[in-house]
Structure 1
Amino acid sequence: MLIAIIPAKDEAHNIKDVIIKTKQYVDFVLVIDDGSVDDTKSVAESAGAFVIRNEVNLGKADALKIGFKYAIDNGFDTIALLDADGQHDPNELPKLMNKLSEGYDIVVGARKFSPLVMPPLRIFANSFSSFLVSLICHTKILDSQSGYRVLRTDVVKKITFETKRYQLDTEMLIKAAKCGFKIGFVEINTIYTERAKSKINQIIDPLKFLFVTLRLVFYRCKK
């Protein structure tokens, strides 16, 4: 059983299309409405998603933790993670799932680091962080910050997540690698539009990624 978890904040103008496309490929769509002040919840429900609403904004990491608990409690064995703003094309889900079936535990959608589609500062930050995470994981990490991924629920049963906001994406890869989970990648389209802009702070968040990465150098997987 495959569940799609979509964290969302003020995405009423984007989320309907994302949900409708995602429903073609998964058994259940769960939206975590993370303190939206617009109609995200009602739009998501009208599109066929089940919605858990946080009354205040907790951030992406905490929204995902709520989704992980729901997936575990309700017996889903596979999880798909997508953004609500349209940066992740749900029509690429079969490609990620096919890769997962080759024996991987996590499959990440790796974006094209091209100046034609991605801001130069993002290219530098993503390339450097992926290089650093690769060294720590002892495996090639093509895109450490991509949030578009599918994974076996066993991964989130094993790992305790401690980071906030967008750092969870990096934390997941490092801890999963150190726990012996197999990580794969497939190339996905890089989508940046007026309606699908990254919410990552171009200065603060890369520094947080660096701090988290260095702190996890000494992480040891619990038996």
Structure 2
Amino acid sequence: MSLQVAEGGRTARTVAESLGNAHLVVGIPAYNEESAIGSTVLGVQRWADEVVVVDDGSTDRTPAILAQADVTVLRHESNRGKGAAVRTLFAHTRRTDCDALVVLDADGQHDPTDIPTLAEPVVEGDADMVIGSRYLADDARDETPAYRRVGQLVLDYCTSRVTGSDLTDTQSGYRAFSPESLERLSITTDGMGVESEMIDSATNEGLTITERAIDARYENLEGQTHNPVKHGLAVVLFLVRLLKRRRPIPSFSSRNR
């Protein structure tokens, strides 16, 4: 595997060495990812002290493949959604003595060599949540299809308006978390709005959010990819519910009888 050049011209191996004896947990929510879960797990193992896969009720060969892998598997009996899978992952990691949790998608989109780069600000105490941004750097290698990029810009705008954040990639599923953030982040949604909800919760809790540039690929993905239109609509509907949740309930004085 080639080593990515991280920020400042350092390789992933150099960044990993700078983390010293930090205990890293890598978490992977997975649903029907039989084509990619094996290679994804193999790719992240060299960077993790523990790999935890939340099998969200898969009905394909994902459970059988995971049974052969040296990973911790947490299984939902039925498909509950990404938000529910992340909650399960957080609950498990809170019971471990980790210095950082790194979460990435199971479909092969994310490059495992970015794990040390995302974990570094958390381990060094500079951030509570680090978002891997596909658009932070002006990189000609960006493979995001134009129609997806337009949709992501809309979701970035909506999320920023609702949460008050200023981020370049609010929907990235590649993130690192501090132990404190695992305790304080509130995740209520079961669905695909979880990325936006985590930003909103972190902002409300006064947690520090930063971004690091990552690579992502879309062509020749082995795993399952979500319909971008359905995904986008789900996120927008969740943001609308989030706004409604924030509206103050009007008080009415009791009427004289």
1:172 maps to which residue? 198
Q: 2:132 aligns with which of 98, 109, 134?
A: 109
2:63 maps to which residue? 41
Secondary structure of 1:203's match?
A: helix
Alignment of 1:125 onto 2:148 = no
Q: 1:22 aligns with which of 34, 39, 44?
A: 44
Instruction: Report the TM-score, using the length of structure 2 for normalisation.
Output: 0.77
Would you say the 8 A contact 1:31–1:52 is kept in 2? yes
Alignment of 1:2 onto 2:28 = no
**What root-mean-square deviation, in Å, do the aligned CA atoms of Structure 1 and Structure 2 show?**
2.4
- 1:15 deviates by 1.5
Secondary structure of 2:110's match?
A: coil
5+ residue gaps in structure 1? none
Number of positions where the alignment pairs a residue of Structure 1 with one of Structure 2: 220
Q: Find the aligned partners of 1:196 and 1:64 in 2 and give their Cα distance.
A: 22
Q: 1:115 to 1:61 in 2, by over 3 A?
A: same
Q: 1:155 to 1:102 in 2, by over 3 A?
A: closer
Residues 153-168 of structure 1 correspond to what in structure 2 (within 5 A)?
Answer: 153-168=179-194
Alignment of 1:199 onto 2:225 = yes
Percent identity over paired residues:
28
Q: 1:18 to 1:115 in 2, by over 3 A?
A: closer
Q: More displaced, 190-199 or 65-74? A: 190-199
Would you say the 8 A contact 1:133–1:144 is kept in 2? yes
Would you say the 8 A contact 2:33–2:224 is kept in 1? no
CA deviation vs aligned residue, 1:24-47 (integer Å, no higher than 9, x gap): 111100111112222222322423
2:87 maps to which residue? 65
Instruction: Report the TM-score, using the length of structure 1 for normalisation.
Output: 0.88
CA deviation vs aligned residue, 1:73-98 (integer Å, no higher than 9, x gap): 23334211011110111111111122
Rg larger in structure: 2
